[in-house]
Structure 1
Amino acid sequence: MGDRYEERTSRIDGAKVWSLTVDPGSVHPVLPDGCMDLLWIGGRLLVAGPDTHAEPPSGPGGGGTYTGIRFAPGTAPALLGVPAHELRDRRVALADLWPALLVRELTERVAGSADPGAALEDIAARRAADAEPPDQAMRAVAAQLDSGRSVERTAHTVGLGARQLHRRSLAAFGYGPKTLARVLRLQRALALVRSGMPYAEAALAAGCADQAHLAREMRDLAGTTLTAYFAAP
């Protein structure tokens, strides 16, 4: 059959609805991306917190389908009702965060849907309508860092001191702004390599000092090398 990944833009601002169908024996490590996800895996609703290193996917044994909605950096904590740092490097049942009766109803709704991704999107949209809006300053921080701005310039632009920026970043992203900047820079570099750009050029374009710098970041954050990562199916 072959593994298959599909993704579309969500009506939730900045979010993506995705699905991954994998063959038995396939390995799909999840690299840090600064995001949090609401997941439908093996008949369960889960939340994936922000990662600081590559995580093995938690899914149905022997292959199967993963479905999720990936929220833009800094937007999920308000919707889920929990600071991001409490979920850092964790996968937790939604029932650990929301009332069990509600989660049972939502689980039945997703299980009975012909399109689990659309059902997840509906859950997120209804929740967002009743929740406090995301921290807009932190959304601006994520956008600035993703554009390659330094943490110092970003703090100045949004009018926050170093301590306040760090504290609010922990709640919004799960880690401090310097870690988020590294994660977003790595994702920029990987996207450039996927587009066909050589490693050295991608490293410089993404904001690394050189290819060796990108290689170190790949080992630290992804636990692998560029060559091994792009050689994988």
Structure 2
Amino acid sequence: MAYTERPSGLVPGAVLWRADGPAGTVLPDGCMDLLWVDGRLLVAGPDTRAHPAREVPGSGFAGIRFAPGAAPALLGVPAYELRDRRVELAGLSGLWPAREVRALAGRVASYADPLAGLDALARSRVVAPDPLIAEVVARLRAGETVARIADTLGLGPRQLHRRSMAAFGYGAKTLGRVLRMQHALARVRAGDPYAEVAHSTGYADQAHLAREVRVLAGTTLTGYTAAATGGQAEGVDGADGVDGVGGVDGANRETPQPSGSSTTA
């Protein structure tokens, strides 16, 4: 399956992507997507686990992936209502009437390239990002603890959790785990040894990294590497450090996508 992506030219921090079919596995990345699938507009919510891309059938997929915390204001729906869900845009809590969604789909279809149509549609509805939410994301990417972030931003733990649920679909601690895993997997795809990746991305050790990949990505480190490299687990340190299981099990035999909800609804 061919997959391509590029930065949005109209929406800061967003990414436009295209896939020619629902193959592979979609991994959590903290993002949400507006999707164009065979003429339909759908939304992919924030994930807490790996999802098979074939959950929604279609012959071609295009989408715009929003940075963590950016999509709820545009959609008018708190992120937790869409956690681990893929839904028609017209089904969002009655906020998007079917007639309006049909008109929007027609606007996207009027472009020669649906990616340009999605970009223009998102730009027409985008709202200014919440600077506090953006700060939370930046600090999580930097590896700060949730307690320190709350203290620095002058928020109580419960207040930060409420804000995070609405913006990300889950608490800041979960988002931090997802972002850290994505950072680690990018290093794995680059061929860095597992132990080096674990140390440099904030895991206690290689076994800790392997456990997080198993929980969040639904596969082993060696399984992920083999899928991402076409079966060649290069530049790694042997076994996963958890159960010694190599290869790719069951649903994860197809090449995993490099980020979140980028290929499915």
Correspondent of 1:160 among 130, 152, 155: 155
In structure 2, what is the equivalent of residue 54 of structure 1? 50
How far did 1:42 drift? 2.3
How far did 1:19 drift? 0.7
In structure 1, what is the equivalent of residue 97 of structure 2? 99
In 1, distance between residues paired with 2:224 and 2:110? 36
AA of the residue aligned to 1:126: S
Given that 1:46 and 1:91 are in contact with CA atoms closer than 8 Å, whether structure 2 keeps it comes out as yes
Alignment partner of 1:41 is 2:40: no
In structure 1, what is the equivalent of residue 211 of structure 2? 216
In 2, distance between residues paired with 1:66 and 1:6? 11
AA of the residue aligned to 2:87: V
AA of the residue aligned to 2:157: A
How far did 1:112 drift? 3.3
AA of the residue aligned to 1:123: L
Given that 1:77 and 1:134 are in contact with CA atoms closer than 8 Å, whether structure 2 keeps it comes out as no
AA of the residue aligned to 2:6: R
- The sequence identity of aligned pairs, in percent, is 63
In structure 1, what is the equivalent of residue 118 of structure 2? 120
Normalised by the size of structure 1, how large is the TM-score? 0.91
Aligned Cα root-mean-square deviation (Å): 1.4
How far did 1:230 drift? 2.0
Alignment partner of 1:198 is 2:196: no
In 1, distance between residues paired with 2:151 and 2:97? 40
- Gapped regions of structure 1 (runs ≥ 5): none
Alignment partner of 1:86 is 2:81: yes
- Gapped regions of structure 2 (runs ≥ 5): 228-254, 256-265
Aligned length: 223
In 1, distance between residues paired with 2:24 and 2:66? 20
Higher helix share: 1
In structure 2, what is the equivalent of residue 171 of structure 1? 166
In structure 2, what is the equivalent of residue 149 of structure 1? 144
Given that 1:42 and 1:59 are in contact with CA atoms closer than 8 Å, whether structure 2 keeps it comes out as no
Given that 1:189 and 1:202 are in contact with CA atoms closer than 8 Å, whether structure 2 keeps it comes out as yes
Normalised by the size of structure 2, how large is the TM-score? 0.81
- Partner of 2:20: helix, strand, or coil? strand
How far did 1:183 drift? 0.4
How far did 1:200 drift? 1.1
In 1, distance between residues paired with 2:86 and 2:57? 14
Alignment partner of 1:140 is 2:139: no
Q: Choose between structure 1 and 2 for higher RCO, CA contacts under 8 A separated by at least 6 residues.
A: 2
